[in-house]
A and B are shown apart, each in its own frame.
Chain A
């Protein structure tokens, strides 16, 4: 079959099983909630829920964690528009025009438009996935060690050079991740590397401990020091406020379309997450607008474009993650980790070997987004009230769940200690403005790069040409060169249209 419609129907069969529906609902509900709560990122939320999924079937686990990832995008917009809180980096830019709209009494309209943009963007992203997947599946079996090695190299380069903030710091963090990935017994020779004689480290640093430390504990430590009182003066509105006027609809229609396209393009480039997509969409919209002076004072386009861009990019991000095993950002890297924990090997063969997970996930996107619309419209009031939960209750309970979760992974206290270590270390990094996300990227991709590199060489009897002689591998290597080339060229030319880094570092 040329497109995946037959498989998609099978996917709906999987996603509509009642337990999977429940997992999906829990995921989007939790996602929506953490999207609203400042200080609780998607990363920390996924890391808290991850251990709960050990006992679940892999399909349910993936649907739930993915639901969290895209559900949070809905919550994030509420915070930005109604409260002027950039709780969530991709929505930071929405504050610029969303909050002025709220102050003008048009917050409901902004949310309504956001919702439309979100649905359109998400739908586009999902359709894109349905059409791309069968092509990737067709070449999947020609992916041997050499191909996977070159693909991982591309993912590593993309992740570290396109990271937000200082590129030097990004590369440094990726390398740190690679080093952490070296810990443990080498698969080829059995040699123990960086284990310091501790047999608990023979299998390397536990992925759950590392991610819960870096994204759970470290983020909380930062959040604890940053809890300003929240102004909810403008946050009261009803369902009827959310229907936009015809003029607003007309004004927002094209920005939604353009935002969606930008988002889907960004999702195609590995290493470019939704944050970059929404900033690019906002900048583009402002540039082509005939009235750029309205931006920043409540232009509906300034809400529509970045929001639809975020949503299409979040959905689109699942394409490289699920079909190639290259995560677009830290959230996807963590989802990739979740797949590995559940014994599912991410990579080109995932679509064939785990068709139920792949197509079930796509079908659940439709279901989940539908759930989110029904959840969001009547529940905005409740979400805003959630902001009143005191952090002295929220943070300790989250820490408690993190410790339980890490212990449950392998029934060992050693990993709880590892988590605390990486929590403190991650907090230090945050204070020094190092982005911890590339660490996870290096940690997840590095060992797979090494393993496949060495195996490809053994199979080719030590001939390095194997990487360029095999066409798919050669294409990836060419892309690597292109990526590094453009990065160098852009830097040499000097930053012309750089995204304001201060905004990117708000989260």
Chain B
């Protein structure tokens, strides 16, 4: 190899190194210059999908780039989490997820190929979903106090659930109220609805996204909502705390997450955009229609909120007697 060639090679290597140094900075400055993908663990058309698409539509006009929703349902959301954990931390792959996945899954599964806390950075949170404690419209029970008194007397009372949040929030109520029930699992909401309406189940905590409409139509009787504040879609229904269960707060909340290692300037940009969307009156109306409450946390706030919740989830998974898989 002669001298000239060697020199050319040095220059070339130098150039490559220079590009490598400059590229990330450039990428941050003109971020986003290509479509952003938002992964969610729910199927197209589901309640979570509708919620996500409202926010991605708004993000799209702020980012001036297409924001595409990738529905990766399955394995209680773990497939979506895995996809984002493995993605390049360049701000073009984001995760929208509920706290049940980020806090709950840690204790429900043993061998997840990712760590829900270490592998993700919260960007901002945007909504809380009020779950609703319901009984049959034929039921003589009219308040949480009635229900607690009834359950303390009844042997073998039945409570239903269709998802983890329902299951664990029921467990939480049982713990705080000091009652016992036999939990009944349902895969499909309509089956559970039938059994609660017919009075086969004594009570159930359901997702307010569709539950609120049924309560307003009189198909179900609501005793309380699980959030700390009343839900705008059911303003007459008290919170659990108001109904006498002190300290009860169980509010599934949604936030945007990026894979660990995403550059701070990109995270800041995204956080700003999301925090601009939440205060819009349009957003408040949308959330109210869908049984949700705005929740405007910055990234670090969401991070702190999540970490503070961990012990609660851990103890509830234990209380529900779920063996981690």
A residues within 8 Å of B by Cβ?
A: 54-55, 141, 143-145, 185, 187-192, 197, 199-200, 202-203, 343, 345, 349, 353, 410-412, 451, 455, 458-459, 461
Contact = CB atoms under 8 A, between A and B. Distances in A.
B185 A202 contact: no
A456 B188 CA distance: 15
Contact of B74 (A197, A203, A353, A455): A203
B79 A187 contact: no
Contacts of A192: 325
Contact of A190 (B70, B108, B187): B108
A436 B188 CA distance: 27
A200 B190 CA distance: 26
Contact of B184 (A343, A410, A455): A455
A458 B184 contact: yes
B71 interface: yes
Which 8 pairs of residues, A with B, have the shortest CB-CB distance? A202-B75, A199-B75, A188-B185, A203-B74, A187-B185, A345-B190, A192-B325, A345-B188
Interface stretch (B5-13, B116-124, B194-202, B279-287): B194-202
A410 B72 contact: yes
Given A349-B190, A353-B190, A459 B200 contact: yes
Contact of A411 (B72, B75, B198): B72
Interface string B20-41: 0000000000000000000000
A487 B108 CA distance: 46
B182 interface: yes
Contacts of B182: 458, 461
A197 B113 CA distance: 10
Contacts of A412: 72, 74, 79
B323 A189 contact: yes
Contacts of A203: 73-75
Interface residues of B, number: 34
B323 A144 contact: no
B111 A197 contact: yes
Contacts of A191: 323, 325
12 contacts: A144-B195, A145-B191, A189-B323, A190-B108, A199-B74, A200-B75, A349-B194, A410-B73, A412-B72, A451-B185, A455-B185, A459-B184
A353 B193 CA distance: 12
B325 A185 contact: yes
A190 B184 contact: no
Contacts of B82: 199
B228 to A, nearest CB: 28
A379 B70 CA distance: 43
Contacts of A353: 190
B187 A200 contact: no
B156 interface: yes
Contacts of A459: 158, 184, 195, 200
Contacts of B156: 461
Contacts of B187: 187, 451
A147 B152 CA distance: 30
A216 to B, nearest CB: 22
Contacts of B75: 185, 199-200, 202-203
